Structure 1
Amino acid sequence: MSLSDMGAAALRLIDPETAHGLAIRALKTLPLLAPGADDPVLRTRLAGLNLSNPVGLAAGLDKNGEALRGLSRLGFGFVECGSVTPRAQPGNPRPRLFRLTEDQAIINRMGFNNAGLEVFAKHLKTRPAGTVVGANLGANKDTEDKAADYVAGLKRLRGLADYVTVNVSSPNTPGLRALQGRAALDDLLGRLAEARSGDRTPVFLKIAPDLTPDEIALIVEASLDHGIDALIVSNTTLDRPDTLRSRDREEAGGLSGRPLQVRARAAVTAAAAASTGRLPLIAVGGIDSGAEAYARIRAGACAVQLYSALIYGGPGLVGRIKRDLTERLRADGFTCVNEAVGTAR
């Protein structure tokens, strides 16, 4: 076990949110060795972005974009920070983050706690060179016109991130998931398209796993109609599978980690069937191994993201997934990730 993985194991012994804060502090201050070059077979192209590998960090770990230098040295192909809202907000009362250790899962009801757009933008201005960085946008809890918050975030962060993600799928902000309906989505995406004003920075849309294939197909078509560059499939789930064993399994909030695998895999399969190659997909939810990452790629994803699995697998998980992916891609005769995308269909 590496020193970084030993540290991750130690953090699991203390309160989850306290451990999260300590992890951010460590990523900001500890000297980390730069990872070696990625195997060329791991190259992938995502919405015009060239990635050295398809394994990304999902939003939620670095909410304020303050630990990008440390995160850039963990071997990710891209790093997404946020969610950030226009105004700073404390989020929901604690406790609001729960480890379901027996299930290799997490429940959170953080509520978009963050320091706001201005602090976030300041951090992005000093981001490390050579790292593909995405900014995940949210809406303030007390905002009546949530679409206006996304427009404000898009305008303020122009030129500071390699891509921007519009997060309409967090279950912890009242009314947010209603933006996934066609009328509300058309309004939101139309206003975002107008606000882009020729800016070529890719804009992604992050959706919930708790959608039917027909609802996902509707979102795909709306995304294509309004020039969205990729779909992130998917966020946490409100579902509570009967298989959950941990003490905190009934806590309110979004469930992530291994129990989300089946639902998230089905969602990306539905999105791939609806998009038929017209809209790049990023798969998220329960990805904790090279085998699972490869399954999502073959189901139609150009790239994958993980977060909860890091809590149980430690930062060394990124390298293990990449090594396994390399072996699987070469064994199947592929020369890069894009050749494998959608080959299971």
Structure 2
Amino acid sequence: MSLTDLGVAAVKMLPPEAAHTTTIRLLKARLGVPLNPPTSHPVLAVKLPKSGLALSGPVGLAAGFDKNCDVPTAMSKYGFGFIECGTVTPRPQCGNPKPRLFRLSEDRAVINRMGFNNAGLDNFVSNLKAYAGSVPLGANVGANKDSDNRIADYVTGMEAVASHADYITINISSPNTPGLRGLQDKASLEALLTACGAASRDDKPVFLKVAPDLDAEAIRDICQVVRGPGAWLSGLIVSNTTLARPDTLKSADRDQAGGLSGAPLMGPSTEVLAAFARELKGEFDLIGAGGISNGADAYRKIRAGAHAVQFYSAMVYEGPGLAERINAELVRLLQADGFMSLAEAVGKDL
């Protein structure tokens, strides 16, 4: 029996942040966590070219769900090929004032302005050490809101998690920490990646997570930096939440401040992913995130250049059992197009 069976609908009756907190508590108590291993799909196994990460499947859990690395072992039972926890900052911080999380049910979307609320690196690393799952575990690191030196915060985070995570993500794309996305500007990004590169370990894959709100010039600038001072990176995660508000949004909370995720982000984030894929020409691993809610969405990102994908917001509506359903749908889509492996489909729509 899964957490979905135990009552995703009941949890959704709670206010959004209370529902999330309750879900984490249930998972920590191992309530509803599947007893049987997830279904194996050999056709979905993939090895990311530059990082060398070997995944049993391309569908990962995005950062944001498990900020403090409380339940990665439990989540590894739901069919995810990899798990990413965080974002963690060096010092604990409460995040932004509540309410700061909103369901846009009519739009199958979420708006959040959480603000990197987390219990800090010491707690996070302790939980990392306790991980007992069988899929790769990533650590997503960020900077404290009141930091005097945000670049130093990223270096501190990387150094703390490197011995215990299978990969690291440098998150400079959250819209909810004032000024953070400024690190995507060319000069700032060069300084950040130079400092982080000096602190990185050669055997530890490191990804850069970028925003979807990038124009063609910004994408070219980021790619130039990634090929230069950031050449040591394994790849990029494209993308985080968006500040855009499509005219199609129907929910009453559509104008709340914060980052929009979920179904409305699928199209824009995939376009940005494809732009990075065309520019980088396979030189770096790409992980596609943003708006995935079914196998067709995941497949579209893979064909747009993603070697693997991540989701989180869709679980608000579908529960954690969605990962296995996406895997099964991906298998059917690959077979229908005559692909013998997932790697054959990467970038086919470019």
Q: TM-score, normalised by structure 1?
A: 0.97
In the alignment, structure 1 residue 35 sits paired with structure 2 residue 37: yes
Q: CA deviation at 1:222?
A: 1.3
Q: Which runs of 5 or more structure 2 residues have no equivalent in the other structure?
A: none
The 1:99–1:5 alpha-carbon spacing in structure 2 relative to 1, beyond 3 Å, is farther
SS at match of 1:235: coil
Q: What do residues 178-218 of structure 1 show as CA deviations (whole Å, max 9, x unaligned)? A: 0001100000000001011x441100000000001221122
Distance in 2 (alpha carbons) for counterparts of 1:156 and 1:314: 32
Distance in 1 (alpha carbons) for counterparts of 2:118 and 2:100: 14
* Root mean square deviation of aligned Cα: 1.3
Distance in 2 (alpha carbons) for counterparts of 1:50 and 1:10: 36
The 1:224–1:9 alpha-carbon spacing in structure 2 relative to 1, beyond 3 Å, is farther
* Residue of structure 2 equivalent to 1:324: 329
The 1:2–1:165 alpha-carbon spacing in structure 2 relative to 1, beyond 3 Å, is closer
* Residue of structure 2 equivalent to 1:50: 54
Counterpart of 1:85, as a letter, is T
Runs of 4+ with >6 A deviation = none
SS at match of 1:308: coil
Counterpart of 1:45, as a letter, is K
Paired residues, what number? 344
Distance in 1 (alpha carbons) for counterparts of 2:24 and 2:133: 19
Asked if the contact 1:89/1:113 (under 8 Å) is kept, the reply is yes
* Residue of structure 2 equivalent to 1:108: 112
Q: CA deviation at 1:129?
A: 3.9
Asked if the contact 1:5/1:315 (under 8 Å) is kept, the reply is no
Asked if the contact 2:56/2:135 (under 8 Å) is kept, the reply is no
In the alignment, structure 1 residue 278 sits paired with structure 2 residue 280: no
* Residue of structure 2 equivalent to 1:210: 213
* Residue of structure 1 equivalent to 2:314: 309
1:190 to 175, 191, 194: 194
In the alignment, structure 1 residue 151 sits paired with structure 2 residue 155: yes
Distance in 1 (alpha carbons) for counterparts of 2:86 and 2:24: 13
Q: CA deviation at 1:158?
A: 1.8
Percent pairwise identity: 54
Asked if the contact 1:28/1:69 (under 8 Å) is kept, the reply is no
* Residue of structure 2 equivalent to 1:13: 13
The 1:324–1:188 alpha-carbon spacing in structure 2 relative to 1, beyond 3 Å, is same
Q: CA deviation at 1:168?
A: 0.2
Map 1:1-345 onto structure 2 (within 5 A): 4-5=4-5, 7-29=7-29, 30=31, 31-46=33-48, 47-196=51-200, 198-225=201-228, 226=230, 227-345=232-350
Q: Which runs of 5 or more structure 1 residues have no equivalent in the other structure?
A: none
Distance in 2 (alpha carbons) for counterparts of 1:290 and 1:194: 39
Asked if the contact 2:261/2:291 (under 8 Å) is kept, the reply is yes
Q: What do residues 40-70 of structure 1 show as CA deviations (whole Å, max 9, x unaligned)? A: 1101112211000000000001000011121
Asked if the contact 2:93/2:120 (under 8 Å) is kept, the reply is yes
Q: What do residues 149-171 of structure 1 show as CA deviations (whole Å, max 9, x unaligned)? A: 00000111121100000000000
Q: CA deviation at 1:221?
A: 2.4
Q: TM-score, normalised by structure 2?
A: 0.96
Q: CA deviation at 1:319?
A: 1.2
Q: CA deviation at 1:2?
A: 6.2
Asked if the contact 1:107/1:255 (under 8 Å) is kept, the reply is yes
Asked if the contact 2:242/2:259 (under 8 Å) is kept, the reply is yes
The 1:174–1:90 alpha-carbon spacing in structure 2 relative to 1, beyond 3 Å, is same
